[in-house]
Structure 1
Amino acid sequence: MNNSKEHEVVSDPDTLSLAEEPTEGLVGAGAKPWKLLIVDDEQVVHTVTHLALDSFNLGGRGLEFLSAYSAAEARQVLHANPDVAVILLDVVMETDRAGLDLVHYIRRELNNRMVRIVLRTGQSGQSPEQEVITQYDINDYKEKTELTRQKLFSTVYTSLRSYGDIFALEENRKGLMKVISASATIFETRDISQFFEGVLEQLTALLYLNSDAVLINASAMLAHPEVERLQIMAGTGKFKNYIGEVNLDSFEESVVERIRYVLTCKKSNYGDNYWVSYYITKSGLEQLLYVSAKDVFSVPDIQMIELFVKNVAIAHETIALLEGDG
């Protein structure tokens, strides 16, 4: 990449310098955008940030720009949007330390450790970088004069990557809590739906999948193929409310076709953004897992999905045997 365009001379230290190169990328249709909050009392900063990041894309998701022109206004925006991923924050606004006070509010009072905070200042002498980084829980520190278009893109990109990792870990933690809670009583109640749901949430979080996933007991359907009713064991995302017996035509046509193909061929099948995993136990219990993905599946992803379906099928078989003994 040619970096010769990145350097521009600016006379005003509060002016954000932009390189001329556009950032290419297509926003994924229907994908929920990342929320980016710009906190600055200068209108020009909001304008050039929009222009610089207009075509931004990460994981098929663009940006939703939120603006606040003071620290007080930023507090209101954050209350209304707790899922803000990145904040580009000015230091000097209502007061010389308005931005730093807002950082304290976000981390201590809102207890929001996930949002990535990038401090931007046009007056570096007001807030020395070393002092700010060591005393405040921020994730990056930039002088406005060094933020060219490409560097601004890189800063937001790496910040969102970090936010995505933290978010995935948090979702995984929630799923693990469900598994732990359900495991304590799983063999007493003989109800493993919560267990399966928790593990399903863990899987989608760990693999950075979309939240849409459904675990299916196919044995009942195969016994009566003319009925075309599925036994849903657990679902997340758009499949969350599909629990118990569900008509096959309740799903989107593309999903139905993929499930039918796997049931006919009795083997797993995949495409660019989905995976349908198939497993049959020794006793003949057949289960499917349908998951959607943001990107193409890797080999480790596939191995984890296949292992998940295998272990769930074995757990389900064990419960069925216990119920038979009871």
Structure 2
Amino acid sequence: MQQNVENGRPSDRVSGVGATKAPASTGRQSGSSPDTAWKVLIVDDDIDVHEATEFSLSTIRILGRPLQLLHATNAKDALGYLKTIQNIAVIMLDVVMEEPDTGLRLVGKLRQLGYTEPRIILRTGYPGQAPEDQVISNYDINDYRTKDEMTRTRLITSLTTAIRSYDYIRSLSATRAGLEMVIEGTQRLYSNKNIDLFAEGVLTQIAAILRLRSEGAVCAVGTPTGDDSSSMIVMAGLGRFSGKVGSELGDVPDVDLSMVQDVAPDNATPELRDNKIALRFRTETGRELILYFEHNGALPSSDVVLLQVFASNLAICFENLDLINHLGELAFVDQRLGLPNHNAFSRELGGLVSGKTDKATVALVALEDAPQLAVAFGLAFAENVMSVVYDRMRDALGETILIARLGEYMLGVVDSTGTLEQSALEGVFHETFLMMGNRISVSASIGIVSGDPTNQKASDIDRAARSTLLRVIQDRPGTTMLFTPEIGDEVQNTIRMKSALQEAVLSKQFRFVFQPKINTKTGEVVGAEILCRWMMDGENISPSVFIPIAERAGFSSDIALQSLEAVSDFWRDLQNAGLLRLPVAINLAVPDICNPDFVDVLTRQCEDSDLLAELVSFEITETQAISVDDDATRGVKALKDRGYNLWLDDFGTGYSSLSHLNSLPVDGIKIDKSFISGLTFEKARGSVAATAKAMADNLGLRSIAEGVETREQHQIARLLGIECVQGFYYARPMAPDAFIEWLKNWDLDAHAGS
């Protein structure tokens, strides 16, 4: 039985892989570390060869490092060593062992398995069986010696040559691996757009590339004052500095600040002192990145090159990241006014629904006067108004509440604390604003959403706020409204209805009905009002619902023009029934009258359809204010000049005023039904209806009362001297054929007595 050599000494135990243990780690496991012995594997079935080799090399150091000999007596054990122990530098291999070519076959197998770095020195006692020229040519070995010529000097020479070759190969491999890690690490850093993770990734990559264990490392980012970097904030830490994230660099103990300050920030050359590495980069925006790294191993020149390559790439990465962050910051700022913008508002909304708060308030504020100010004084003036309003809101609401510019003249407010009071928002506009030495008043429409944002969608909160603002602008501009679920439903229905109305206009789905007007003294039918009716999805929609929507959407002009066609058909039906044409009143919205093109089209269509001016009147529905010199006034005058009768509809409500009666060329007023429905004989003389009638008389205007539903209301209207009336008491609005049948049988006295 052959003896095994364990740890350099003969043993009676059978040879095995575990016979010699791998050396304990002394920090860095690298072929270039001076604290690690060169591992040399002796593979020979002759025990004397093991002992002689160990004796010859016991005191030898090669390239400044000792040798550690590993012993195997057969190919199987040798292969076991290679699989178990890393960094075997040289294999001194006997050719003839179990078989005459065991050593040669082992060489081929080792290289085939990927063990390409260990240098192999073949030794043989039978040179004739394996000629040197053939072996060198056919096998990947580094030297081939006979045992007889392997003197101590020759042995040392061969080992030195082989170890030098191995060390060079290991350095190349380490450099290649390091460069691959630099490339991979750079790609990772490029893909990371978060500065915190970027900083942590930098420290991790340095440790990996240099194969060094970090005793402590910090990465700080900031904009220093001059060359003083002590105030920069630690974004990441390793080792003993891992708990210092968020601290100022100057407050971290044991960091060599003088070394950091000595690093030039405008290049990518690392500063190396003892076991410390410092890197410093500065971008064009003035932000700096500082790396301070302490390790426990030596840094060879080859790894310094790797560090320089990584530092160059890192500088580009940081410049790129700083640019991305700078662009990101710009993406959340309104570029004209420097205020937070819609992106900032959306981001803050997203934070609300994260579950960090159970009470929040979101408000949208539309400046009602800003568009007029922009027209009167220019865009710069109106934007200055936005700025001063923002400043006052910031002072009133505090720094913790986000205020962002969402539109030309709209601001958004997000309060994640839920402490925002409605009165605080409204109070911003109670006092005038000082603008360029002048005091101006600004009013605002405000829509507010409050409640628990948990488990809601940010988009739903935004939609609720916008729905509320839209509702307040439509119904009560210049006031504040709180969101209710009904508002959201109404807005959705409005959107659906707007789309359906557009289709109705194009396909002429509207029906037109006529309601008679009665002379209070004679009881005769003196005219009719044409009214629009519409069904959506098989359901009748009230005119009070769809007409305002049509006006806001710009469809009311189309409805008015289509009503002219219905009037023409109605007159033809009257003539076919042997009846005279009745005067017909058509409703017009103020926004339509403001358009001179519409007025031209309207009058031209009347002329083309033979709708005589003396038989056509227009009732102006005041859904917005009319000033003395605006387009609406000019439109009213244009219609009057063409001979049409004009009436102020719904007088006493909306925007009607005495100035309209005095300035507009109207022929009469139509007293709103809200002033008729509550009339009694006892209160009639002091009623609003009586006052409206008196004003009309004083101005030489005629009057009509609408909404008459009882015999008493009819008698009161007659008592007050109101010339004409209409309402359900006489007839509901009817289709043309029904109207004609009603008209043939109409008799006020008979109706009153029934």
What interval of TM-score do these two structures reach, taking the shorter chain for normalisation? 0.5 to 0.7
Q: Is the Cα–Cα contact under 8 Å of residues 182 and 309 in structure 2 kept in the other structure? A: no
The one-letter code matched in structure 1 to 2:320 is: T
Distance apart, 1:201 and its partner CA = 5.3
Q: Is the Cα–Cα contact under 8 Å of residues 120 and 141 in structure 1 kept in the other structure? A: yes
Instruction: Give the 3-state SS of the residue equivalent to 1:145 in structure 2.
Output: coil
- Which stretch of the first structure deviates more once superposed, 187-196 or 84-93? 187-196
**Residue in 1 that maps onto 2:298:** 293
Instruction: Give the 3-state SS of the residue equivalent to 1:125 in structure 2.
Output: helix
Identity in percent: 29
Unaligned runs of 5+ in 2: 1-31, 223-227, 246-252, 265-269, 329-754
Distance apart, 1:72 and its partner CA = 2.4
1:140 aligned onto 2:123: no
Scaled by the length of structure 1, the TM-score of the pair is 0.66
The residue correspondences of 1:253-272 to structure 2 (distance < 5 A) are 259-263=256-260, 265-266=262-263, 270=272
**Residue in 1 that maps onto 2:121:** 118
**Residue in 2 that maps onto 1:156:** 159
**Residue in 1 that maps onto 2:236:** 231
The residue correspondences of 1:115-264 to structure 2 (distance < 5 A) are 115-184=118-187, 186-190=189-193, 192=198, 204=210, 211-212=212-213, 216-219=218-221, 222-224=229-231, 231-232=236-237, 242=239, 245-246=242-243, 259-263=256-260
Report the Cα distance in structure 2 between the residues aligned to 1:301 and 1:174, rounded to whole angstroms. 11
Distance apart, 1:263 and its partner CA = 3.0
Match of 1:323 among 315, 322, 325: 325
Pick closer, same or farther for the CA change 1:216–1:48 going to 2, 3 Å.
farther
Instruction: Give the 3-state SS of the residue equivalent to 1:276 in structure 2.
Output: strand
**Residue in 1 that maps onto 2:102:** 98
**Residue in 1 that maps onto 2:79:** 75
Distance apart, 1:42 and its partner CA = 1.4
Q: Is the Cα–Cα contact under 8 Å of residues 89 and 117 in structure 2 kept in the other structure? A: yes
Match of 1:313 among 306, 312, 315: 315
Instruction: Give the 3-state SS of the residue equivalent to 1:158 in structure 2.
Output: helix
The one-letter code matched in structure 1 to 2:41 is: L
Unaligned runs of 5+ in 1: 1-27, 205-209, 233-240, 249-255
Report the Cα distance in structure 2 between the residues aligned to 1:287 and 1:274, rounded to whole angstroms. 14
Report the Cα distance in structure 1 between the residues aligned to 2:123 and 2:189, rounded to whole angstroms. 51
**Residue in 2 that maps onto 1:276:** 277
Distance apart, 1:40 and its partner CA = 0.8
**Residue in 2 that maps onto 1:236:** none
Distance apart, 1:106 and its partner CA = 0.7
Q: Is the Cα–Cα contact under 8 Å of residues 277 and 292 in structure 2 kept in the other structure? A: yes
Match of 2:56 among 28, 52, 55: 52
Report the Cα distance in structure 1 between the residues aligned to 2:208 and 2:182, rounded to whole angstroms. 10
**Residue in 2 that maps onto 1:43:** 47
Pick closer, same or farther for the CA change 1:53–1:247 going to 2, 3 Å.
farther
Distance apart, 1:305 and its partner CA = 4.8
Q: Is the Cα–Cα contact under 8 Å of residues 91 and 97 in structure 1 kept in the other structure? A: yes
CA deviation vs aligned residue, 1:14-55 (integer Å, no higher than 9, x gap): xxxxxxxxxxxxxx9982222210001111211222222223
Report the Cα distance in structure 2 between the residues aligned to 1:275 and 1:316, rounded to whole angstroms. 22
Pick closer, same or farther for the CA change 1:84–1:290 going to 2, 3 Å.
same
Distance apart, 1:159 and its partner CA = 1.4
* Equivalent pairs, count: 271
**Residue in 2 that maps onto 1:207:** none
- Which stretch of the first structure deviates more once superposed, 302-311 or 47-56? 302-311
Report the Cα distance in structure 2 between the residues aligned to 1:94 and 1:30, rounded to whole angstroms. 37
Instruction: Give the 3-state SS of the residue equivalent to 1:87 in structure 2.
Output: strand
Higher relative contact order (CA 8 A, sep 6+): 1
Pick closer, same or farther for the CA change 1:194–1:149 going to 2, 3 Å.
farther
Report the Cα distance in structure 2 between the residues aligned to 1:222 and 1:72, rounded to whole angstroms. 60
Q: Is the Cα–Cα contact under 8 Å of residues 179 and 195 in structure 1 kept in the other structure? A: no
Pick closer, same or farther for the CA change 1:304–1:112 going to 2, 3 Å.
closer
Instruction: Give the 3-state SS of the residue equivalent to 2:129 in structure 1.
Output: coil
